[in-house]
């Protein structure tokens, strides 16, 4: 996941200039950059079925192959269509890799260690997103294509000796094929919590820059906090009970969003963004662990694909709604909107915890 997302992140600084070089304008830039999450959403359900039917490591390698095609397109003569296709293939590869990697980790990790394992997996993603743009800032488009291809080769080498964990199971039919039982409420909770993320990535820099603060500093604080949170906070929360601590983390996240919306200080905004990042690191490890325990191993890939699809939908729709709200009421209202979604997720997680009947404890036996 780390080497893949270094490649994805490296494309971000070069794509806008490449689109303009190909004759595209602002709309074309938006389309090229925006196709990634829609391709990832479309790929989640395919990734889930492929992971359950063909195997975890097989799906990992398919995802790396798709990423290689994206890298090859970046080496070809620049056209807006080619860039959009490459970006879309990266989104599809993301869906395949993340779903398969999550299922693999959950298959091979005892229940009481799953939050920590998923936190480490997420650390690879955020590490890649942190390093990738730094790499891409010093390269041109074709050199970035070589970085993507090199990452694919390295990924194939890293996964070459992984033991396959495909689980034989009866194929599911009807709605359960797309949305296994027990995924809907955690999925809605994950989506609501990620309205805060949608606000951060869409408006944090612009909002603070308009107020005379340095938005890029606050965004860096957020990203570093998420990475450190996945590596440090998630294991600590798992010792207490990650489902038990999740609502508190979401409240901290909501408070940070409200502070960002009301401040013009770089220092205060950076600290608040770090709080948002620390709260943001908890929902996916907690809810993916919960969902994995609710379904059979043969449905695990489909369940994880459906869970992350809620994230894609809420982030995409939330970004659009936040943009409409910003035009009508200003950017501070956008952060209130995000905070309301996060608080709704906290309340829903309290209900989910009570419904589940017990937290997932690090010091309990796997079959407790």
Residues 6 or more apart whose Cβ sits within 8 Å of residue 149 = 68, 71, 72, 75
The pTM (predicted TM-score) of the whole model is 0.76
What digits encode the pLDDT tens for the residues 131-140? Answer: 888 888 888 9
Q: Which ranges in the chain are annotated with CATH 1.20.1250.20?
A: 2-161, 184-356
Q: Which CATH architecture has domain 2-161?
A: Up-down Bundle (1.20)
Question: Environment class of residue 204 by beta-carbon count within 10 Å: exposed (0-12), middle (13-18) or buried (19+)?
Answer: buried
Distance CA 287, CA 253 (A): 17
What digits encode the pLDDT tens for the residues 288-338? Answer: 888 888 887 778 788 888 888 898 888 878 878 888 888 888 889 999 999
CA angle in degrees (0–180, nearest 5) for 8-80-69: 45
By percentage, how much of the chain surpasses pLDDT 90? 35
State yes or no: pLDDT of 219 exceeds 90: no
Average pLDDT for residues 107-122, to the nearest whole number?
Answer: 84
**Could you count the other beta carbons within 10 Å of the beta carbon of residue 86?**
26
* Lowest-confidence pick of 94-98, 164-168, 225-229, 313-317: 164-168
Place 368 in a pLDDT band, splitting at 50, 70 and 90: very low
Average pLDDT for residues 233-252, to the nearest whole number?
Answer: 91
CATH superfamily for 184-356 is: MFS general substrate transporter like domains (1.20.1250.20)
Which one has a higher pLDDT value, 182 or 255?
Answer: 255
Average pLDDT for residues 197-225, to the nearest whole number?
Answer: 85
Tokens 């090199």 — which residue? Answer: 150
Residue 223 contacts residue 235 (beta carbons within 8 Å): no
For 161-195, b/e burial (b = at least 16 CB within 10 A) is eeeebbbeeeebeeeebbbbebbebbbbbbbbbbb
Residue 52 contacts residue 298 (beta carbons within 8 Å): yes
Q: Considering Cα of 167, then 153, then 134, then 66, what sign does the dihedral take?
A: negative
Three-state DSSP class for residue 282: coil
Say what the pLDDT of residue 149 is.
95
């Amino acid at each position: 996941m780390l080497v893949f997302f270094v490649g994805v992140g490296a494309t971000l600084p070069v794509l806008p200039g490449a689109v303009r070089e190909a004759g595209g304008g602002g709309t074309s830039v938006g389309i090229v950059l925006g196709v990634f999450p829609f391709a990832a959403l479309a790929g989640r359900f395919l990734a889930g079925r492929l992971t359950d039917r063909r195997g975890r490591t097989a799906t990992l390698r398919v995802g790396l192959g798709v990423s290689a095609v994206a890298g090859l397109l970046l080496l070809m003569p620049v056209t807006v269509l080619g860039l959009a296709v490459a970006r879309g293939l990266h989104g599809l590869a993301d869906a395949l890799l993340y779903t398969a990697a999550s299922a693999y980790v959950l298959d091979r990790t005892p229940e009481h260690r799953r939050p920590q394992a998923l936190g480490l997996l997420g650390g690879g993603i955020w590490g890649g997103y942190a390093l990738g743009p730094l790499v891409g800032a010093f390269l041109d488009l074709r050199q970035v294509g070589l970085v993507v291809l090199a990452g694919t080769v390295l990924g194939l080498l890293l996964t070459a000796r992984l033991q396959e964990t495909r689980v034989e199971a009866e194929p599911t039919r009807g709605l359960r094929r797309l949305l296994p039982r027990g995924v809907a409420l955690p999925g809605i909770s994950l989506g609501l919590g990620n309205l805060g993320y949608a606000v951060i990535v869409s408006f944090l820099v612009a909002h603070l820059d308009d107020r005379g603060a340095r938005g890029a500093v606050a965004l860096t604080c957020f990203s570093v906090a998420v990475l450190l949170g996945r590596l440090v906070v998630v294991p600590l929360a798992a010792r207490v009970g990650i489902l038990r601590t999740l609502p508190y983390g979401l409240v901290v996240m909501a408070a940070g969003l409200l502070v960002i919306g009301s401040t013009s200080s770089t220092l205060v905004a950076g600290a608040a963004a770090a709080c948002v990042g620390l709260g943001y690191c908890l929902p996916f490890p907690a809810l993916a662990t919960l969902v994995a325990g609710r379904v059979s191993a043969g449905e695990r890939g489909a369940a994880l694909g459906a869970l992350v699809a809620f994230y894609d939908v809420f982030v995409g729709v939330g970004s659009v709604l936040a943009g409409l709200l910003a035009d009508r009421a200003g950017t501070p209202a956008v952060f209130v909107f995000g905070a309301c979604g996060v608080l709704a997720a906290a309340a829903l997680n309290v209900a989910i915890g009570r419904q589940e009947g017990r937290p997932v404890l690090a010091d309990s036996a796997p079959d407790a």
